[in-house]
């Protein structure tokens, strides 16, 4: 597909008799920031390895930037930057020396501009001040940013990032988020695998959700949110009574720290009718709001699992 930076059809990977990725049809629009979501063991990393030609698929078709992978890997991979499963660097070398070493190993990288490009990449990820320090003195977040700098040593049409904010403090996370947005504004497609749904919602334009090796949903962030319908949140000290009242109106609510919450089915009465029924039955309302469902709620609905934010 000419409008796709990544497109797969029936992509499958089996280890022995078990399908780790099963019939994946993925479509990543060019110029998008695409979030790739799923619980541990859902097949995300295996998929990324196949996209980059690190392992071969058992079946199916992969096209990256319009070219078939892995057949055309030598033609395509110079246009793809990647940070997969954390960066690996020589701890006894400085950040600058590590990037020069990496760039020298790239036969497509021009040697005449190497030093300038390394300096620019370090500045772009906020490591200019630490360029001469040994990597063994870097924090986990600094190593993560150095890995992103390594993926940006030359211009890329596609950037694949596996957990890019892992180990970053809030400021570092904001910097990476801003960097990803700026890359997308410049026309680079950014493919981000992450377990931080709040981050995905803030930075991504599109996403896909995996479960047990299968794709269960994909589309724009707004499309994924809409798939779950609106949510009503009621702040009240009378949670059990509120649950009972909403239940009589066909709305299954659960208790929360501040009251109750429920996904509204299409058959649910309008919000004003729900509020009036709660007040009429003696429920003390301290707050009442109807909002769009979050990506996290959609994820839980589709996979039956919460997110392990410590992974």
Query: What is the per-residue pLDDT for 311?
Result: 32
Query: What is the per-residue pLDDT for 35?
Result: 93
Query: What is the per-residue pLDDT for 7?
Result: 96
Q: Report, as ranges of residue numbers, the positions in the chain whose pLDDT lies below 70.
A: 1-2, 86, 167, 226-229, 293-311
Query: What is the per-residue pLDDT for 307?
Result: 47
Query: Cα 173 vs. chain centroid, distance in angstroms?
Result: 13
- For residue 141, the tally of other CB atoms under 10 A from its CB is 19
CA angle 80, 81, 85 (to 5 degrees): 125
Nearest to 253 by CA among 267, 226, 245: 245
Domains of the chain, start order:
4-225 (3.40.50.300), 229-292 (3.30.70)
| pTM metric for this prediction | 0.75
Percent of the chain whose pLDDT exceeds 70: 91
Burial track 177-196 (b if 16+ CB lie within 10 A, e otherwise): bebbeebbeeebbbbbbbbb
């Amino acid at each position: 597909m000419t409008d796709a930076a990544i497109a797969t059809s029936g992509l499958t990977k089996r280890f022995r008799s078990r399908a780790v990725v099963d019939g994946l049809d993925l479509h990543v629009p060019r110029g998008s920031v695409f979030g790739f979501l799923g619980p541990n063991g859902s097949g995300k990393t295996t998929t990324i390895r196949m996209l980059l030609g690190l392992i071969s698929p058992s079946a199916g078709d992969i096209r990256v930037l319009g070219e078939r992978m892995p057949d055309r890997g030598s033609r395509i991979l110079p246009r793809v930057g990647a940070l997969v499963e954390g960066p690996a660097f020589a701890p006894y070398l400085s950040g600058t020396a590590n990037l020069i070493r990496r760039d020298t190993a790239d036969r497509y990288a021009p040697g005449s501009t190497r030093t300038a490009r390394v300096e620019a990449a370090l500045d772009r990820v906020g490591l200019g001040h630490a360029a001469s320090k040994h990597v063994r003195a870097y924090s986990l977040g600094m190593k993560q940013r150095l890995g992103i700098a390594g993926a940006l040593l030359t211009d890329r049409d596609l950037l694949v990032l596996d957990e890019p904010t892992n180990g970053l403090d809030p400021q570092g996370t904001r910097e990476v988020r801003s960097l990803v947005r700026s890359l997308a504004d410049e026309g680079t497609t950014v493919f981000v695998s992450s377990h931080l749904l709040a981050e995905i919602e803030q930075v991504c334009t599109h996403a896909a959700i995996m479960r047990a090796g299968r794709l269960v949903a994909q589309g724009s962030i707004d499309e994924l949110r809409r798939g779950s319908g609106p949510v009503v949140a009621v702040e009240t000290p009378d949670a059990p009574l509120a649950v009972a009242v909403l239940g009589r109106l066909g709305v299954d609510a659960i208790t929360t720290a501040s009251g109750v919450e429920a996904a509204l089915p299409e058959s649910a009465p309008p919000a004003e009718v729900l509020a009036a029924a709660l007040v009429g039955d003696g429920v003390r309302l301290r707050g009442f709001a109807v909002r769009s469902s979050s990506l996290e709620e959609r994820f839980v609905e589709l996979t039956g699992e919460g997110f392990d934010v410590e992974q």
